[in-house]
């Protein structure tokens, strides 16, 4: 496979995972998500990776090179206090999952009439819980080489095959009523229970509110003006441009909400540079975070940081981030995102123990219809 094709697959993978990773909800909606990746032909990258997130904060990581499930937040140590064998049990299960995923990539390559090359099988699953209404919802979605492959519809209790190559898997899994019952139980009972427990474990950090630092940035006088915010929490935020007191949409490009390495978030919104004759002071960048007063930053040429060396002022009075910092942060985010998705295996456990959210018993089905 030529380098351009490899790059295309990697970029499609990033888009697929980013869309899954950034499923947001309101300020009172919590989420538990697992992203799994199995890769073939990717140099210097583990064949199998799992990342778990609570409210989009990474809490667990596993890969086929370390063969260890590792907590990424100090408060996750409470899991072992409640269940001393939790991590060791998951290590054994996930080591087996690695082999399942390697087999599934071979099956998928055969389905798509492929030989060799770079290929990535992905999975995202988990649940959401509204702590005010008590409403819960679950999700499970598989992808291959950056495209949707098969999705579980909890409402109809059936599998959706968006590509012809997945139809054979859909028929197999639709006919496996035990599998459907187990997935329904996982999404409606096991996953929400674990989510509530982990929100309680990490309440001191997960339920906090952090205000952002805001910067006005511009590459050149004719480039769009970027209003960039970073360091806010939670991620249920909105940002937009306002002109003359009214929300302004013309020439505006809204960026995605992306995670920072410290568990906070960043986002940006671009505005086509106003003309020389326009009143720049009539434009305002507005950042909204539930429960706090709007943060409003007036568009002022004097505080915009540009490649021409203007210093600029942030809303907190500090020097703003430059474009190099933003690019580095974006690259770091992509590294985290690409380390997501795949296929997983479940193992029968002692019913006296609380089932692990990663390794819910007996739900895994291989893609091979003859398995």
Digit-by-digit pLDDT tens for the chain (371 residues) are 555 544 444 444 444 444 444 444 334 689 999 999 999 988 888 999 999 999 888 899 999 999 998 988 888 888 888 888 888 888 888 888 888 888 889 899 999 999 888 999 999 999 999 988 899 999 999 999 989 999 999 999 999 999 999 999 999 999 999 989 999 999 999 999 999 999 999 988 888 889 999 999 999 888 999 999 999 988 888 999 999 999 999 999 999 999 898 888 999 999 999 988 788 989 999 999 877 899 999 999 889 998 765 444 444 444 444 444 444 444 444 444 444 433 332 223 333 344 444 544 334 445 543 33
What radius of gyration do the chain's Cα atoms show? 23
Looking at domain 213-335, its CATH class is mainly beta
Q: Where in the chain is the domain with CATH 2.60.40.10?
A: 213-335
CATH of the structural domain 3-205, one choice from 3.40.50.300, 1.10.3720.10, 3.30.500.10, 1.10.357.10: 3.30.500.10
User: What φ, ψ does residue 280 adopt, rounded to 5°?
Assistant: -60, -30
Q: Report H helices in 246-315.
A: none
Confidence at residue 81, expressed as pLDDT on a 0 to 100 scale: 82
Residue 369, number of CB atoms within 10 A of its CB:
13
Confidence at residue 366, expressed as pLDDT on a 0 to 100 scale: 52
Confidence at residue 309, expressed as pLDDT on a 0 to 100 scale: 54
Residue entry with tokens 């399942």: 100
pTM: 0.66
Q: Is 50 helix (H, G, I), strand (E, B) or coil?
A: strand
Residues 6+ apart with CB under 8 A from 200: none
Confidence at residue 327, expressed as pLDDT on a 0 to 100 scale: 42
User: What φ, ψ does residue 148 adopt, rounded to 5°?
Assistant: -60, 140
Question: Which residues on adjacent β-strands are paired with residue 288?
Answer: 238
Residue 267, number of CB atoms within 10 A of its CB:
20
Confidence at residue 263, expressed as pLDDT on a 0 to 100 scale: 81
Confidence at residue 218, expressed as pLDDT on a 0 to 100 scale: 93
**DSSP label at residue 220:** S
**DSSP label at residue 210:** B
Q: Where in the chain is the domain with CATH 3.30.500.10?
A: 3-205
């Amino acid at each position: 496979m030529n380098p351009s094709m490899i790059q295309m697959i990697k970029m499609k993978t990033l888009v697929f995972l980013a869309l899954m990773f950034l499923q947001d909800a309101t300020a009172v909606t919590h989420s538990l998500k697992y992203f799994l990746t199995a890769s073939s032909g990717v140099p210097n990258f583990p064949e199998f990776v799992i990342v778990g997130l609570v409210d989009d904060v990474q809490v667990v990581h596993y890969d086929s090179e370390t063969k260890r499930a590792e907590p990424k937040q100090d408060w996750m140590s409470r899991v072992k206090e409640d269940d001393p064998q939790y991590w060791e049990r998951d290590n054994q299960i996930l080591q087996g999952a690695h082999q399942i995923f390697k087999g599934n990539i071979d099956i998928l390559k055969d389905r798509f009439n492929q030989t060799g090359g770079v290929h990535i099988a992905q999975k995202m699953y988990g649940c959401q819980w509204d702590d005010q209404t008590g409403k819960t919802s679950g999700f499970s979605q598989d992808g291959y080489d950056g495209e949707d492959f098969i999705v579980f519809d909890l409402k109809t209790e059936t599998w959706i095959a968006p590509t012809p190559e997945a139809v054979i898997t859909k028929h197999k899994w639709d006919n496996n009523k035990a599998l459907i019952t187990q997935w329904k139980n996982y999404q409606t009972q096991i996953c929400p229970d674990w989510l509530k427990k982990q929100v309680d474990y990490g309440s001191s950090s997960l339920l906090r509110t952090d205000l952002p630092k805001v910067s006005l940035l511009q590459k050149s006088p004719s480039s769009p003006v970027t209003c960039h915010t970073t360091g806010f929490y939670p991620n249920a935020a909105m940002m937009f441009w306002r002109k003359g007191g009214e929300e302004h949409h013309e020439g505006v490009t809204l960026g995605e909400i992306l995670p920072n390495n410290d568990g906070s978030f960043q986002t940006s919104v671009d505005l086509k540079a106003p003309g020389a004759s326009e009143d720049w002071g009539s434009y305002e960048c507005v950042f909204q975070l539930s429960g706090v007063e709007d943060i409003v930053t007036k568009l002022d040429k004097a505080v915009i940081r540009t490649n021409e060396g203007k210093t600029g002022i942030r809303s907190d009075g500090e020097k703003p981030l430059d474009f190099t910092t933003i690019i580095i942060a974006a690259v770091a985010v992509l590294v985290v995102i690409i380390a997501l998705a795949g296929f997983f295996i479940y193992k029968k456990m002692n019913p006296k123990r609380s089932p692990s959210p990663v390794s819910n018993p007996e739900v895994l089905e291989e893609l091979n219809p003859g398995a």
